[in-house]
Amino acid sequence: MQRVIKSILLVTALVSCGTDKDSRYQDISHLERPPTLPVNPSASPNESYAVDDSRIEKRQSNTGLGDKVYLTNATPLQLRIRMPIDKAWYALAQALKQSRDTLKITDYDRDKKIYYVSSGDESSAGFFSFLSDNKKINYVLSMKGAGGETAVMANLAAEQSGTTDNQDSNNETEKLLRMLYGILHDDLKLEYNGS
C-alpha cells in the first residue's frame, strides 16, 4: 500500500512539473519598454539622429593634487588644500595612510575635523625606549574650511608641548606639514580625481 501511495505522489509531482505552460513567460505586459527617441521632423531620413562628438576626459595618469595644495608663508606654517573640507578630510586621510611607515593615525574626530597622529618607531615605545634615538612624537592636525579651500594646521600634542621649547615645536610641526605637502602635491593616490 505504501508503494502505491508513493507512486501516486511521485506521478502527481511529475505531472505538475511537466506542464508546458508557465504564466511567467506568457504575460509580457510588465516588461520595461525601451525609450522612444525624438526625431527631428525637418531632417532627411538619413539624418534622423544627432551625432554626439563630446568626449570624456581621460583621468590624469599622474598622482597627487598638484596646484590644489600649497604651503603658506605665514608663521606658523599652514597647509592649504583647494577643496571643500569634506574632500580635503578624505585627501588628508589618504596621505596619512600612504605615509604609514613614518606616521600613524592614533585617533580622529570627524565632527571637529581633527586627526591625532604619531610619528616615530613603535617598537621603541616599550621598556627599552630609553635606548632608542627615535623618539615618538604626537601631533594634532586640525582643519578649518572656508568655501572651497581648507587650511590644515599642526601642533604638538598637549602632553609634549611643555617638554620642548617653542622653536623645536615649530620645527617639528613644519617638518610634518612639509612631508604631508609632498605627499599631497606629488604622490597622493585617490579613488576619485580630487575635483
Q: What is the pLDDT of residue 64?
A: 80
612624537: which residue's cell?
Answer: 137
**pLDDT (tens digit, 9 = 90+) per residue, 71-94?**
998 888 899 999 999 999 999 999
- The structure's pTM equals 0.59
| Mean predicted confidence (pLDDT) in 130-150 | 81
Mean pLDDT across the stretch 34-54?
Answer: 63
Interstrand relation of 149-156 and 69-71 (parallel, antiparallel or unpaired): unpaired
Higher pLDDT, 128 or 66: 66
Is residue 115 scored above 90 in pLDDT? yes
Mean pLDDT of 92-102: 87
| Burial class (CB within 10 angstroms; exposed 0-12, middle 13-18, buried 19+) of 100 | exposed
- Taking the C-alpha atoms of residue 70 and residue 80, their distance in angstroms, rounded to an integer, is 5
Q: Which domains does the chain have, with CATH numbers?
A: 66-120+133-187 (3.30.310.170)
Averaged pLDDT of the chain: 77
**CB-based contact 119:176 (threshold 8 Å):** yes
